[in-house]
């Protein structure tokens, strides 16, 4: 049976039963078999992943604020922690982190918070961050692969940064629960979200791929 004849039959079946997923799958398989071209499903093409952006750098402490949105940018976009915000086929740096249990610097936390106290949205990640070169999020099969890429890029102990990396202690602000006081109250630290501080000075011209452990909004499997 010729290549064109096989594909023609598959096309006819797909037209007659356009809503039949089994036949659609058969068509894609036939085209791949006869032409050698892999057909990517529309669901794979439309998959989106979660990204963060650099929001600020505090020179006095040598720390960055990274998170969902840079509110100082009038053209900035929100992240989407629930279904992703950036097509996985696009190229973005991976935000990597190395946790070394650095004490929290005495940065000031402004605002009243929202559903959670303000400190929840301004946590401390207990280490450093860095960004890789831009890559497609879809190139990673799972979180372990992203962790390995961070380690390959920056060394042992580096992993992909996570949405919940920022830790907070209720009532922390300025010198309260900073330095030795932060370390001595480790048992009271809780996971925050949406934004956090870290040692580093990453680029501010592009968003970064990040991981989230409790939502299906990454380009890779958990």
Q: Is the pTM of this model over 0.85?
A: no
**What pLDDT score was predicted for residue 45?**
67
Q: Please tell me the distance from the alpha carbon of residue 167 to that of residue 125, in angstroms, as a whole number.
A: 6
Chain centre to alpha carbon of residue 134: 13
Kind plus residue range of the DSSP H or E element containing 26? helix 21-35
Q: Please tell me the distance from the alpha carbon of residue 190 to that of residue 168, in angstroms, as a whole number.
A: 5
How many CA atoms lie less than 13 Å away from 26 in the CB half-sphere? 16
pLDDT digits (tens, 9 = 90+) for 146-168: 999 999 999 999 999 999 999 99
Domain ranges of the chain: 3-39, 46-209
Average pLDDT of each block of 10 consecutive residues along the chain (222 residues)?
A: 39 35 34 33 72 98 96 88 97 98 97 92 98 98 98 98 98 98 97 98 97 96 91
Q: Please tell me the distance from the alpha carbon of residue 193 to that of residue 73, in angstroms, as a whole number.
A: 21
């Amino acid at each position: 049976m010729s290549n064109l004849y096989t594909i023609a039959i598959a096309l006819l079946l797909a037209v007659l039963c356009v809503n039949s997923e089994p036949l659609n799958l058969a068509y894609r398989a036939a085209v791949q078999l006869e032409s050698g071209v892999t057909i990517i499903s529309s669901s794979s093409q439309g998959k989106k992943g979660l990204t963060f952006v650099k929001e600020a750098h505090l020179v006095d402490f040598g720390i960055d604020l990274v998170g969902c949105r840079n509110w100082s940018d009038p053209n900035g976009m929100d992240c989407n922690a629930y279904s992703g915000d950036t097509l996985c086929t696009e190229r973005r740096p991976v935000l990597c982190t190395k946790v070394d249990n650095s004490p929290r610097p005495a940065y000031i936390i402004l605002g009243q918070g929202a559903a959670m106290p303000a400190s929840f949205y301004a946590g401390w990640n207990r280490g450093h961050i860095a960004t890789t070169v831009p890559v497609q999020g879809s190139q990673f099969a799972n979180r372990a692969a992203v962790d390995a890429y961070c380690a390959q890029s920056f060394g042992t102990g580096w992993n992909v940064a996570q949405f919940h990396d920022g830790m907070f202690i209720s009532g922390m602000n300025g010198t309260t629960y900073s330095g030795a006081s932060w370390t001595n109250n480790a048992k009271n630290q809780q996971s925050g979200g949406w934004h956090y501080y870290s040692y580093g000075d990453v680029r501010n011209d592009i968003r970064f791929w990040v991981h989230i452990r409790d939502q299906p909004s990454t380009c890779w499997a958990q």
